[in-house]
Amino acid sequence: MPHQNITPESPIGIFDSGIGGLTVVKAVQAALPSEKIIYFGDTARVPYGPKSQVTIRKYALDDTLILMRYQPKMIIVACNTVSALALDVVEKACGDIPVIGVLKAGAELAVGTTRNGRIGVIGTQATVCSNAYAFAINQLDEKKKVFSQACPLFVPLAEEGFIDHPATRLIAGEYLDRITREGVDTLVLGCTHYPILKSVIQETVGNEIRIIDSAEAVAQKSAELLRASGMLNPSPAPAVPHLLVSDLPQKFSSLYQLFMGAEMPDVELVEV
Ligand code: DGL
């Protein structure tokens, strides 16, 4: 890889607005246990989804620059909202460091999964309004029909840890009714917070609908890219992620335990 200070031992930088990106951290850890991960959750400014494109692009740049301080060998954008509206901002700030976004991986997986060609996409207001999923899916196959629905309340429910809660069931019923009636056979979780609520979402839409979580697809893509460029970390020892947040590290800590099923390692407070 061209960058001077980058070696196979360099970390992988991953970011999201809050805890949602931990779903991606978990998948990357499972696929690449020796890789050092630096995760930044912008807990001071979550949620990104209801904000304007100008603001999201500004946040995307700030988040990338925070991770670039650690000289990562790759950046994973574990946020669909940033992947939809500001991937170019991240790529520009990274120079020759490779950048992988969750959105394209989710679109590819959905196209490969659907049998009847009808794909549902749920995401934040910004992601749905950008039409980025429909565009990415139709770039791969223009015959696929895409039905989208913004589910803005899912992000605070996930941030609250309301994994199995009547409020989540009620809101899921409200949001998912129309999309289910469109006859989709595949539903993309187009926001990295949503896999945290996956069991309620699956229960609401029924077991016939296949749910797509792009975290695993992104982890596989990252592994392939590192392998192809000879940048896999050769260490046999499993690495512990280093976590950065912009606010409330204690709250992040309890949610980390809930989602990752492990004690949270050190967490550092950074200013944005
Ligand atoms: N988890 C993010 C996403 O995938 C952002 C959610 C939010 O901050 O609104 O879109």
- Check pocket membership of 80 for ligand 1, CB cut-off 6 A: yes
Among the residue ranges 186-195, 197-206, 234-243, 262-271, the one predicted with the least confidence is 262-271
- Check pocket membership of 79 for ligand 1, CB cut-off 6 A: yes
pLDDT score recorded for residue 244: 96
Of 220, 223, 271, nearest to 247 by C-alpha is 271
Atom of ligand 1 nearest to the CA of 17: 8
- Check pocket membership of 46 for ligand 1, CB cut-off 6 A: yes
Evaluate whether 21 touches 85 at the Cβ level (below 8 Å): no
How many CB atoms are located within 10 Å of the residue 55 CB?
15
Rounded-to-integer distance, Cα 192 and Cα 257, Å: 17
- Token representation of residue 206: 């029924």
> Over pLDDT 90: what percentage of the chain?
87
Rounded-to-integer distance, Cα 209 and Cα 198, Å: 12
Q: How confident is the model at residue 1 (pLDDT cuts 50, 70, 90)?
A: very low
Whose alpha carbon is nearest atom 2 of ligand 1?
Answer: 79
Evaluate whether 76 touches 14 at the Cβ level (below 8 Å): yes
Q: How many CA atoms lie within 13 A of 195 on its CB side?
A: 24
pLDDT score recorded for residue 4: 64
**pLDDT tens-digit series, residues 163-216:** 999 999 999 999 999 999 999 999 999 999 999 999 999 999 999 999 999 898
Atom of ligand 1 nearest to the CA of 46: 8
**pLDDT tens-digit series, residues 81-139:** 999 999 999 999 999 999 999 999 999 999 999 999 999 999 999 999 999 999 999 99
Evaluate whether 222 touches 76 at the Cβ level (below 8 Å): yes
Indicate if the pLDDT at residue 255 is higher than 70.
yes
Strand partners, 120: 147, 187
Active-site entry in 94, 129, 151, 191: 191
Outline where DSSP puts E strands in 57-165.
74-77, 99-101, 118-123, 145-150
3-state secondary structure of 100: strand
Ligand 1 midpoint to CA 49 (Å): 6
**pLDDT tens-digit series, residues 49-79:** 999 999 999 999 999 999 999 999 999 999 9
Evaluate whether 245 touches 252 at the Cβ level (below 8 Å): yes
Mutate to test the pocket of ligand 1, among 14, 15, 19, 48 (most ligand atoms within 8 A of CB): 48
Is 191 in the active site? yes
Q: How confident is the model at residue 245 (pLDDT cuts 50, 70, 90)?
A: very high
pTM tops 0.85, yes or no: yes
- Check pocket membership of 10 for ligand 1, CB cut-off 6 A: no
**pLDDT tens-digit series, residues 215-232:** 988 999 999 999 999 999
- Token representation of residue 194: 């949503």
- Token representation of residue 259: 């989602």
pLDDT score recorded for residue 25: 95
How many CB atoms are located within 10 Å of the residue 134 CB?
18
pLDDT score recorded for residue 266: 81
**Considering Cα of 41, then 132, then 189, then 181, what sign does the dihedral take?**
positive
Strand partners, 190: 123
